């Protein structure tokens, strides 16, 4: 009797439900500084501004020099740099940062220690982000 009940329970779980180990930020700890950009739709101004800025050589080099990686969640689909995340990883990333894929456009800087260092809206300035990183103890 218990097994069928467990089977029904397991079938009722959403396919994208994430376990804590699914969080891709865990693998970044002490190696990189993740930047997470979450926007509700493709073509969002925040996403376009970040992409445009990172096309500039100086900004791209500053991004790389500071050991940064770019995570994006666009309309609920996650990516790390150019690689797709699976739905569970995307859900775990959003859950860890307490973000809503359909919410307001959000920019989050995560430190090498895994802590959130900066949360900004659509008007974030990457040069200000670089300056913030340069003030961090791990950077000095």
Tens-place pLDDT, residues 20-77: 679 999 999 999 999 999 999 999 999 999 999 999 999 999 999 999 999 999 999 9
Q: Which two structure tokens, joined as six digits, stand for 41?
A: 């739709």
How high is the pLDDT of residue 20? Answer: 60
Residues with Cβ within 8 Å of residue 35, at least 6 apart in sequence: 50, 68, 69, 70, 71, 107, 108, 109, 110, 129
How high is the pLDDT of residue 4? Answer: 39
Domain residue spans of the chain: 39-134
pTM of the model: 0.84
User: Please, which pLDDT band fits residue 12 given cuts at 50, 70 and 90?
Assistant: very low
Cα distances from 14 to residues 18, 46, 74, 122, 139, in angstroms, run 9, 30, 20, 31, 40
d(CA 31, CA 52): 25
pLDDT above 90: residue 14: no
């Amino acid at each position: 009797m218990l097994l069928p009940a467990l089977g029904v329970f397991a079938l009722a779980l959403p396919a994208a439900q994430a376990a804590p180990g699914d969080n891709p930020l865990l693998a970044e700890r002490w190696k990189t500084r993740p930047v997470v950009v979450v926007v509700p739709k493709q073509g969002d101004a925040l996403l376009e501004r970040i992409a445009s800025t990172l096309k500039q050589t100086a900004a791209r080099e500053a991004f790389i020099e500071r050991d940064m990686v770019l995570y994006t969640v666009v309309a609920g689909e996650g990516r790390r740099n150019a690689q797709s995340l699976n739905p569970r990883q995307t859900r775990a990333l959003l859950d860890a940062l307490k973000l809503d894929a359909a919410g307001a456009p959000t920019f989050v800087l995560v430190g090498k220690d895994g802590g959130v260092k900066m949360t900004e809206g659509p008007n974030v300035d990457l040069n200000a982000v670089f300056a913030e990183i340069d003030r961090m103890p791990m950077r000095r």
